[in-house]
Homo-oligomer: A and B are copies of this chain.
Amino acid sequence: MELDNLENWRKSHYANEITPKSDGKKVVLMGWMREIRLHGKLAFIVLADRSGDCQITIKEEENSKFFEKIRSLNREDVIAVKGTVKKTKQTVRGVEVLLSDFKLLNRAQTPLPLDVAEKTPALFDTRLDNRVLDLRKPKVLVIFKIRGEILRAAREYFAKNNFMEIETPKIIATATEGGAELFPVSYFDKAAFLRQSPQLYKELMTACFEKVFEIGPIFRAEPSETTRHIAEVTQMDIEIGFATEEDTWEVFDDLIPYIYSSVKKNCADELKILSADLKVPKAPFKRVSYTEVLEALSKKGLKLKWGEDTPPHGEKLITEIYKGPVIVYGYPSELKPFYIAIHEKDSKISHGFDLIMEGLEIASGGRRIHDPKIYESRLKAKGLNPDNFKEITKFYHLGMPPHSGWAIGVDRLVQVICGLQNVREAVLFPRDVKRLTP
């Protein structure tokens, strides 16, 4: 059967815009044929698009030209309909569209590899292999509407608060945190890497732009496979000159509730589809030292030695103990990278911190080093070769201000806000040790 051309047809409405109020209106809808029921000389189609769906009612006698075509439709075929809206008690949404003209724009294969109506649940790998079908499911699609709103709200916050947007290189010559977990790139005739973080560059930007943010991709070659890690991640970074770590905690206190409130306000329907009852966290967030956390965990039966990193189930316990978001500060210097400042009075303690929400480390940051002598000595103390960093360290002799910053894992934040089990659910086409396609 021949496909029809779009010609001068254009969508007049999204499916969910058709309500009993539109009674009598002529409309053009386009989308996917989700369901069809045939009753002799009558056909009922559920036409779905990204907004929801709408029933199309087709009488053979008025549509004899294309009734055969309609009868032959398979699930997820791409269709366009012209018709008149009619109030009705026969459909859940109280409305149907009486067909007057029809186009078959494209065919979908049959049977489909995945059930969009999700009567049969699919394996996550099957879902990813057929991601565009999977993303037509309302419960999956809304995750990305919410993700978009999280990004929009965050950028709006940064613009309102005088952060300058920066875009720093993704291809770098120097291993940011020194070492493993980097993807090598052949850069013309040179060896290079994909950045693990914009860390060293965003720090430099405080020496001219003072207060900056960047939202962009970072890459981590972690060969392990967990529900918490992927290889290509979106990270939201800030860095502020003339500021200590406490100043950046105030940004958490402002920004996180700002994002939550925006999502609650602008994605109310989407949250309903996810059955998510989003609570805007109360600021200021609790601030607890690493040492205090160890004691509290110990009382709950998790004994960690001072200097040990918190395991994933420890992060879950932290949320149980403190409720709401917690900023954990005063981490051992050993656990933090070279660019985190160490305490003036006790070199075992760093100015690094984490933000833990819903049992997940959502953000990580610290006060940085601005004195070039200390910067180079920390490189050496961490066993790194200062020669490999000289393209960065040279800038430390050009007037670096004291500065502090953090990075939020955007995918994890989406995971927490949408209540997802696996961070891959928050990403369109996740990348990990196993999966490089599509």
Contacts and interface: CB of A to CB of B under 8 A. Distances in A.
Interface of A: 3, 5-6, 10-11, 30, 32, 49-50, 76-78, 80, 105-109, 112-113, 130-133, 135-136, 141, 144-145, 147-148, 151-152, 155, 159, 164-174, 183-188, 190, 192, 194, 201, 204-205, 207-211, 216-217, 219, 221, 223, 231-232, 234, 241-244, 247, 344, 370-371, 391-392, 394-395, 397-402, 427-429, 431, 433, 436-438
Contacts of A170: 170, 217, 219, 232
Contacts of A431: 169, 171
Contacts of A32: 399
Given A78-B400, A80-B242, A401-B30, A173 B50 contact: no
A115 B185 CA distance: 35
A10 B399 contact: no
Given A112-B398, A400-B78, A371 B3 contact: yes
A371 B78 CA distance: 11
A185 B171 CA distance: 11
Contact of A247 (B10, B159, B219, B399): B10
B217 A141 contact: no
Contacts of A370: 78, 105-106
A369 to B, nearest CB: 10
Contacts of A205: 132, 135, 428
B171 A132 contact: no
Contacts of A371: 3, 106
A398 B132 contact: yes
A105 B402 contact: yes
A183, A242, A370 — which one has the most chain B CB atoms within 10 A of its CB? A242
Contacts of A155: 152, 155
A184 B183 contact: no
A210 B436 contact: no
A132 to B, nearest CB: 4
14 contacts: A3-B371, A105-B242, A106-B402, A132-B398, A135-B209, A147-B165, A155-B155, A169-B429, A171-B231, A188-B221, A188-B223, A391-B438, A392-B438, A394-B438
Contacts of A201: 428-429, 438
A397 B109 contact: yes
A402 B185 contact: no
A217 B234 CA distance: 12
Contact of A208 (B136, B166, B210): B136
A57 to B, nearest CB: 22
Nearest to A187: B436
A44 to B, nearest CB: 20
